[in-house]
Amino acid sequence: MSQSATNNLSQQLLIGFGISLTTVGLTTLGLNNLLIKSQLRYKQEQRAQTITQGVAFSTEGLIELGNTSIIKRIVQNYATMPSVVEVAIVSPDGQTLARSGSQSKNPPYAAIYPELTQVVQQAAETGLEKSFRTNIDGKPTLVEISPFSSTLFGQGNRRGLAIAILDVKELQQQAWQTFSTSTITLVIGMSAILVLMTMMIQRLVLQPLQRLNKAVTDSSSIDYFVMPSGLPNNEIQFLAQTIQAAATRVEAYQQLEQEIAQRQQVEAALLESEAQLRQQAEDLEKAMQELQQAQMRIIQAEKMSSLGQLVAGVAHEINNPVSFIHGNLTHFDNYTQDLLQLIDLYQQQCPHSPTIIQKTVEDIDLEFLKEDLPKLLSSMKVGTERIQGIVQSLRNFSRLDEAKLKAVDIHEGIESTLLILQSRLNPKPGFVGIEVIKDYSKLPLVECYPEQLNQVFMNILANAIDALETSTYHQLTLKTNPKICILTKVLADKAISIHISDNGSGMNKTVQEKLFDPFFTTKPVGKGTGLGLSISYQIVVGNHSGKLYCDSALGQGTEFVIEIPLNQHSCHPL
């Protein structure tokens, strides 16, 4: 501890003690001030009341004896008390019997102090004490009026009065003189205490600290310390002992620090090695996931490519003969109409045909044939048109010629998918069939990869059919017909959404959390690969910058929501 530090400590201690003493003194003075202010009015009124009651008690018997000289002396004696302006004895009729400071015959009291006339009369009539403050001759005064026995004067309804007038200002000055005296005494006492404390601090604290500081600074090394002599038996000596004990342990602490540092280095090396191994494991796991996803995409792409080529080939082979049949049905219809007109003309011109002709007409039921033949041709035409529609749907679903981005009608892809799945929607033994409810909004053309979106529709709708078939077989929809609802709408942020929901058995939270994981499936072995929804998620989110999410609860069905932007900027096909 340097000399400047010692001086600073001394100054701080003295300043602290000074502030403490000043705070205590100011608090005491403030409390005294408040106490004097709060009690000053009460003491003034108490003094005035004591004077009037004393005068009334002392003079009551003397008035009965008619000894006015002694009454005059009593009034004069009370008037000599500090701050007393005047003391007077007034009869019930307002005549001044005795008054301090008066040498001649006393006039009526109302003539002396007209401003007190009304109060004096009220006190004489009511017999109640009066105490109030007023200005007399321009000075603030306290007036105290005490009625006494009326029997002395022979007036039953009025009393005699003892009146005292006190100088309020003089009373206040006396109180403040007392306060000033106590303040000066307190300041002198505080100064003496501060000087005494300064001497004690210098002797008992600062000088021992200086010796201890010198012993510390004179030590040749941190682990060598000689305790100075003459230290007081207090905290300073305890501090010196603590320093000496610390010095003897520094070397042990230094060795311990070296060991800790070495251990920390070993731990750091182990942590770094562990972190490297953990990073390698994470990289390996990530590589495995990427490899699985790449394998999944390759398998699915190859499968969809083969399926598309197969569908396109079947559609082409069916389309050629159907187109030939459909094109010739028009000519066949015309030829049939010509032949029927010829038969009608022959029947009109030859109503009496030979018997063999009439018998043949009856055998073949010519009238029914003429009526049914156009219907038959019409149904055949409708059938060929139906086959052409199926072929067109197969071609739309495969879309091998649309591997690039193209603005398409989303509803067309949904309808093509539903047409392919129609056989699974129809009733069959043990299954009531599935009702498809469509709520299509007017959608603009959407820029997308049509083949990929058709694959998403196929996966989600096939899963919905599987769920409804399972629910029906397990009698989970006893009073509700199996339904699939398809809702489309335009979103505010230049996108569209497709909602596909079913009223099947639904899924729990655990299944929903793993729904889009590769190779996760709840279907029996051989009926599901666990790739459909994972690939659908990649198509919607990765290739179309969209969203695909599911909302489901056990017993309440499942809803898949697909959100696709109207325009694609940087999407790449799977």
Indicate the CATH number of 403-574 among 2.60.120.260, 3.40.50.300, 3.40.190.10, 3.30.565.10.
Answer: 3.30.565.10
Q: Is the pLDDT reported for residue 444 higher than 50?
A: yes
Decide: 134 and 115 in contact? Cβ < 8 Å: yes
DSSP code string of 499-512: EEEE-S----HHHH
Segment 92-107 shows an average pLDDT of 76
Give the other-Cβ count within 10 Å of 380's Cβ: 15
- Reported as a single tens digit per residue, the pLDDT across 342-377 is 888 887 877 777 778 878 877 888 788 878 788 777
Per-residue confidence (pLDDT) for residue 573, from 0 to 100: 46
Segment 69-84 shows an average pLDDT of 81
Per-residue confidence (pLDDT) for residue 479, from 0 to 100: 41
Q: Between 184 and 511, whose confidence is greater?
A: 511
Segment 432-460 shows an average pLDDT of 90
Per-residue confidence (pLDDT) for residue 489, from 0 to 100: 94
- Reported as a single tens digit per residue, the pLDDT across 208-218 is 776 666 666 76
Segment 310-322 shows an average pLDDT of 67
Q: Is the pLDDT reported for residue 498 higher than 90?
A: yes
Same fold? 3-186, 403-574 = no
Per-residue confidence (pLDDT) for residue 104, from 0 to 100: 59
Dihedral class, residue 160 (left if φ above 0, else alpha if ψ from -120 to 50, else beta): beta
Enumerate residues 6+ apart whose C-beta is below 8 A from 384: 322, 325, 326, 329
574: confidence class by pLDDT, cuts 50, 70, 90: very low
Per-residue confidence (pLDDT) for residue 569, from 0 to 100: 67
Q: Is the pLDDT reported for residue 476 higher than 50?
A: no
Decide: 129 and 164 in contact? Cβ < 8 Å: no
- Reported as a single tens digit per residue, the pLDDT across 150-165 is 566 656 677 888 888 8
Q: Is the pLDDT reported for residue 467 higher than 80?
A: yes
Q: How far apart are CA 86 and CA 341, in angstroms?
A: 155
- Reported as a single tens digit per residue, the pLDDT across 385-423 is 667 766 766 665 555 445 578 899 999 889 888 887 888
The percent of residues in the chain predicted with pLDDT above 90, rounded, is: 10
Q: Is the pLDDT reported for residue 543 higher than 80?
A: yes
Which class would CATH give 3-186? alpha beta
Pairing of the two strands 435-439 and 483-491:
parallel
Per-residue confidence (pLDDT) for residue 146, from 0 to 100: 86
The percent of residues in the chain predicted with pLDDT above 70, rounded, is: 69
Question: Amino acid letter at 528?
Answer: G
At 66, which helix (H) or strand (E)?
Answer: none
DSSP code string of 144-156: EEEEE-STTTT-T
Its pTM stands at: 0.39
Give the other-Cβ count within 10 Å of 28's Cβ: 14
Please tell me whether residue 458 adopts helix, strand or coil conformation.
Answer: helix
Per-residue confidence (pLDDT) for residue 548, from 0 to 100: 93
- Reported as a single tens digit per residue, the pLDDT across 188-200 is 877 777 777 777 7
Boundaries of every domain in the chain: 3-186, 220-401, 403-574
Decide: 536 and 453 in contact? Cβ < 8 Å: no
Q: Between 473 and 311, whose confidence is greater?
A: 311
Segment 496-524 shows an average pLDDT of 84
Q: Which of 241-245, 305-309, 431-435 has the lowest mean pLDDT?
A: 305-309
Q: Please, what is the angle between helix 3-65 and helix 207-217, to 10°?
A: 170
- Reported as a single tens digit per residue, the pLDDT across 219-263 is 666 555 666 666 666 666 666 667 666 666 666 676 777 888 888
Looking at residue 114, what DSSP letter applies? G
Q: Between 295 and 342, whose confidence is greater?
A: 342
Select from 176, 170, 187 the least CA-distant residue to 33. 176
**Residue 60: what are its φ and ψ, rounded to 5°?**
-60, -45
Q: Is the pLDDT reported for residue 271 higher than 90?
A: no
**Residue 340: what are its φ and ψ, rounded to 5°?**
-65, -40
**Residue 518: what are its φ and ψ, rounded to 5°?**
-60, 140
- Reported as a single tens digit per residue, the pLDDT across 128-144 is 888 888 888 788 888 88
Query: Which range scores top for mean pLDDT: 295-299, 419-423, 454-458?
Result: 454-458
| Ranges of H-type helices in 66-167 | 68-79, 109-112, 117-126
